[in-house]
Amino acid sequence: MNRSAAAVANAFFLFVGVAGLIIQIASGVPGFPDIPPGPFILGITGILVLTLSARFRWVLFLGIVAPVFILVGALLEGSFRARLADVGDFGPFVGTALLIGGVIAAAVSGVVAVSRAYRRVAAR
């Protein structure tokens, strides 16, 4: 069984979210812990989806849970709105746009990957 295009897209968008977080950290956005968990959560999930989803369909659920977890955290924390509103502060703006866009796209493509993987099984 091969990885689906939706699973590859899910991993790609998880990595986009990681890039966004790294850009935010590098550009000096305040409030990040010394070792921020977000890049590890999204990055490891992306690796797992790419390497294991063809064999273990349940891994695809991680591709939904991880970005939703990060998105809920961003919504609860709330400072991303100000960074998206300030286009002039380029690094934080781009990093935040990549993060939020990446986790939303990852969650959507994760849902598509799960639905396609389990629809194929039900059709057998």
pLDDT at 90: 96
Check if the beta carbon of residue 42 is closer than 8 Å to that of residue 109: no
What confidence score (pLDDT) does residue 2 get?
79
Quote the pLDDT of residue 121: 61
Q: What is the pTM of this model?
A: 0.93
- The whole-number mean pLDDT for each consecutive block of 10 residues of the chain, a chain of 124 residues, reads 90 98 95 92 98 95 98 95 95 97 98 91 61
Q: What is the pLDDT of residue 122?
A: 64
Buried b (16+ CB within 10 A) or exposed e, 64-86: bebbbbbbeebeeeeebeebeee
- Per domain, the residue ranges of the chain are 5-28+37-123
